Chains A and B, each alone.
Chain A
Amino acid sequence: MTEGLIFGLITAISVGLSGGYLGSLMVLERMALVGDALSHVALPGLALGILLNFNPFLGAFGFLFASAVIIWHLGRITKLYYETIVAALFTLALAIGILIIPQPDLLEALFGDITKIGLADTVAAIIISIAAMLLTRIIYRKIVLGIISEELASSTGINVAGINLLYLLLVSLTVAVGIRIVGTLLVGFLVVVPAATAKNLSSNLYRYSLLSSIFGAISSSSGILLSGSLALPSGPLIVLSGVTIFLTAVLIRWVLKLS
């Protein structure tokens, strides 16, 4: 196993765990498309990083961060669903990104490239993933209560708008890290499919969030290992691994007739 593959594997496990954990809330909020579309918003940021010669991750995170704030604010003042706002934003961002990103870098930005992940990237991915998971753990139950009933949550003193903003920012951070391994087109997978898989097999929050994280890590790591042995891009293989797990879970649920 090459050094690059090891870095890629560790990064993938970190991002898979955090993507799965944070994504479990996104699926509950019925914001699955938000996670997917939000990732495309990173493309102009990546392009700027490449064009102006600074770390594309910072550009991606800057755009994701700004988009999260815009989405959150528009959601509050217009009462539009997050998905509606994101749909408008992400097509614009994708269009701008494709226009300004240099053609040789476009494929890497869209589908990721683990061969360029170094030690610093891996350490950053581990730290960011752990921080995102710890902070999400603190607000996890409050967000769930807000999903069950915003009034109920507010009546217990929870600042629903505030924790939603924090959550969107943490998702932005996780997505920005995930882009390195699966690319902007496919990173939405990390916050959607593992959670959807776990939801098929869970009747309580503990099991749901745990399974979602585990499925995220398994999908990512198996995709990277397959990529190493088949010499194919990691992003699509991660998605295929995850979807295979998802279909297996659906089959298990059907066979066991889980309620």
Chain B
Amino acid sequence: MESSADYILKVSNLNVTLQHQTVLENVSFKLERGTALAIVGPNGAGKTMLFRALLNLVPYSGKIQWEDKVRIGYVPQKLSVSDIPISVREFLSFKGGSKIEESLRSVGLDNKVVLNKSLGVLSGGQLQRVLIAWAIIDGPNVLLFDEPTTGVDLDSEEAIYEMLDRLKKQNGITILLISHDMHIVRDYSDYMLALNKCVTFFGESREIMNPSLQRTIYGEALCITGDLS
């Protein structure tokens, strides 16, 4: 019999309806502590909305049960930073003044180079690293990343996922990430949740290279329900 301590997150029968449109329908899954879950699916499948529900930012029905001592770090998909005169130091100080330099070091950024730079002048890769530094600065045990490498070149993308993998292994952090890249899903996550408003697949991430499963994920939705642990 399973212990409730094995899971950091349990989601049962989650439904989200916005402006009379069903965005998520009957979504259920469980996530073990210290693992990485990739959330995949076509555009408009409800991936970002799932994150918003997990963060309690939208009204929902059903049950979302995080473990008691959960501390969540979150990096959203869209940020408006290009037009705002804010330095990296100021941005990170929103969350924690004393650990700014430590968190920048842990994402591989040189404090002297970026600390006083404006967020708007950073490269795509540097900005994503700063956002990850933001997410980890207050010692979370869960990280939520909504397409963390959008607009980042391939080398930087690989380096960012290597770093996330290291954070997961060194600190035992549980990671939920939304990605469209099948190789990233295969190489850097343990489990995969395919959404198309409902759950169309839940299983090990290596399965994603299976062509028939890819048709299931990105083709017509064939929902599965019930206990997906």
Contact between A147 and B80, CB atoms less than 8 A apart: yes
Looking at B71-79, B179-187, B219-227, the stretch in contact with chain A turns out to be B71-79
Looking at A39-47, A56-64, A85-93, A204-212, the stretch in contact with chain B turns out to be A204-212
Bound CA span A259–B119, Å: 12
Residues of chain B with a CB closer than 8 A to A141's CB: 90, 94
Contact between B85 and A152, CB atoms less than 8 A apart: no
Contact between B86 and A152, CB atoms less than 8 A apart: no
Distance from A192 Cβ to chain B, minimum over Cβ atoms (Å): 15
Q: Does B57 reach chain A (CB closer than 8 Å)? A: yes
Residues of chain B with a CB closer than 8 A to A145's CB: 94
Distance from B108 Cβ to chain A, minimum over Cβ atoms (Å): 22
Residues of chain A with a CB closer than 8 A to B76's CB: 149, 151-152, 155
Q: Does A203 reach chain B (CB closer than 8 Å)? A: yes
Contact between A148 and B81, CB atoms less than 8 A apart: yes
What 1/0 mask marks residues of chain A from 195 to 207 whose CB sits below 8 Å from any chain B CB? 0000100111111
Contact between A203 and B118, CB atoms less than 8 A apart: yes
Residues of chain B with a CB closer than 8 A to A156's CB: 94-95
Q: Does B155 reach chain A (CB closer than 8 Å)? A: no
Task: Using CB atoms, name the residue of chain B closest to A201.
Answer: B85
Partner of A152, one of B79, B87, B89: B79
Bound CA span A233–B52, Å: 53
Residues of chain B with a CB closer than 8 A to A207's CB: 85
Q: Does A31 reach chain B (CB closer than 8 Å)? A: no
Q: Does B209 reach chain A (CB closer than 8 Å)? A: no
Distance from B38 Cβ to chain A, minimum over Cβ atoms (Å): 20
Q: Which of B84-131 contact A (CB under 8 A)?
A: 84-87, 89-91, 94-95, 116-118, 121
Q: Does A154 reach chain B (CB closer than 8 Å)? A: yes
What 1/0 mask marks residues of chain B from 54 to 87 whose CB sits below 8 Å from any chain A CB? 0101000000000000001011101111011111
Q: Does A94 reach chain B (CB closer than 8 Å)? A: no
Q: Does A144 reach chain B (CB closer than 8 Å)? A: yes
- With A149-B78, A152-B76 known as contacts, the answer to whether A28 contacts B87 (CB < 8 A) is no
Residues of chain A with a CB closer than 8 A to B118's CB: 203-204, 259
Residues of chain A with a CB closer than 8 A to B121's CB: 203, 259
Bound CA span A62–B90, Å: 36
Bound CA span A231–B76, Å: 55
- With A204-B87, A207-B85 known as contacts, the answer to whether A155 contacts B55 (CB < 8 A) is yes
Distance from A206 Cβ to chain B, minimum over Cβ atoms (Å): 7
Contact between A148 and B79, CB atoms less than 8 A apart: yes
Bound CA span A182–B89, Å: 38
Bound CA span A151–B146, Å: 11
Contact between A205 and B85, CB atoms less than 8 A apart: yes
Residues of chain A with a CB closer than 8 A to B52's CB: 151
Distance from B45 Cβ to chain A, minimum over Cβ atoms (Å): 18
Contact between B74 and A28, CB atoms less than 8 A apart: no
Contact between B87 and A203, CB atoms less than 8 A apart: yes
Distance from A212 Cβ to chain B, minimum over Cβ atoms (Å): 10
Bound CA span A68–B85, Å: 26
Residue with the highest number of chain B CB atoms closer than 10 Å, among A141, A145, A199, A203: A203
Contact between A28 and B55, CB atoms less than 8 A apart: no
Partner of A205, one of B55, B90, B95: B90
Give 20 CB contacts A-B under 8 Å: A28-B83, A30-B83, A141-B90, A144-B84, A147-B80, A147-B84, A148-B79, A148-B86, A148-B91, A149-B79, A155-B57, A155-B72, A155-B74, A156-B95, A204-B86, A204-B90, A205-B86, A205-B87, A205-B90, A206-B90
**Interfacial residues, chain B to chain A (CB-CB below 8 A):** 52, 55, 57, 72, 74-76, 78-81, 83-87, 89-91, 94-95, 116-118, 121
**Interfacial residues, chain A to chain B (CB-CB below 8 A):** 28, 30, 141, 144-145, 147-149, 151-152, 154-156, 199, 202-208, 259
